[in-house]
């Protein structure tokens, strides 16, 4: 039996998915396809948030195993969970008013994962367990263009100084644009919060 090489897009796209915690860097982010779910509310208390994350990972892993076991025998690492965050009134973030936070949770899908595979994966997951989040899933191309990003190491509650560094870097060059973007590299169910790794990304004008 031929050995199937495992594709890891985080390594192939290391300029986007392996930034340094020491310095903020500017990157150009091309268009990628993502499975997405939109929602609102405190991620720590929202049932809709938990359902969104469960649906995203269930479909992403099902698609992965479909391709690995299929004729093409393509094996790849499922990409990390990402989140876009915003509020109609930005004071909701300053005041930590999480009930009014809005979010889009998403997982990038490699270019070789056809739409038909995603559709089949959704159907397969639904047949096993009708997850509420499945009906809110969509597959969409998303492009950010010019951004700045940096790696934050530690709990989410301690991101403030990292975000300030990022915003200072951007404001010295242009201005903020788009939505606050976080990429979660750690499994927070298992890792020590002091070692959580989160990429903080912000589009630039």
Tokens 């096993």 belong to residue: 128
Per the CB < 8 A criterion, the answer to whether 177 and 84 are in contact is no
Which residues of the chain carry a pLDDT beneath 50?
1
Which contacts of 70-77 are long-range, i.e. CB under 8 A and separated by 24 or more positions? 72/112, 73/2, 73/4, 74/4, 74/7, 74/112, 75/4, 75/5, 75/6, 75/7, 76/6, 76/7, 76/8, 76/9, 76/110, 77/6, 77/7, 77/8, 77/9, 77/10
pLDDT in tens, 13-25: 999 999 999 999 9
pLDDT in tens, 32-73: 999 999 999 888 888 999 999 999 999 999 999 999 998 888
Q: What does the block give as tokens for 56?
A: 């995203």
Q: Go through the domains of the chain in sequence order and give each one's CATH number.
A: 18-203 (3.20.80.10)
Q: Which pLDDT score is estimated for 90?
A: 67
Q: Which pLDDT score is estimated for 1?
A: 47
Q: Which pLDDT score is estimated for 191?
A: 82
The values of phi and psi at residue 56, to 5°, are -60, -50
């Amino acid at each position: 039996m031929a050995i199937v090489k495992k594709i890891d897009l985080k390594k192939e796209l290391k300029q986007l998915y392996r930034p340094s915690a020491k310095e903020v860097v500017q990157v150009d982010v091309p268009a990628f396809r993502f499975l997405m779910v939109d929602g609102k509310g405190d991620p720590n208390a929202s049932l809709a948030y938990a359902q969104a994350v469960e649906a995203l990972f269930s479909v992403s892993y099902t698609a992965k195993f479909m391709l690995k076991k299929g004729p093409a025998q393509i094996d790849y690492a499922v990409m990390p969970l990402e989140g876009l965050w915003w509020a109609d009134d930005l004071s909701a973030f300053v005041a930590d008013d999480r009930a009014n936070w809005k979010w889009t949770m998403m997982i990038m899908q490699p270019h070789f994962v056809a739409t038909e595979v995603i559709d089949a994966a959704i159907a397969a997951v639904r047949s096993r367990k009708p997850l509420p989040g499945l009906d809110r899933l969509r597959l969409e191309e998303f492009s950010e263009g010019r951004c700045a990003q940096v790696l934050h190491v530690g709990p989410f509650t301690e991101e403030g100084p990292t975000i300030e560094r990022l915003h200072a870097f951007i404001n010295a060059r242009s201005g903020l644009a788009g939505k606050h973007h976080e990429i979660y590299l750690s499994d927070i169910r298992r890792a020590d919060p002091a070692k959580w790794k989160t990429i903080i990304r912000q589009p630039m004008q």
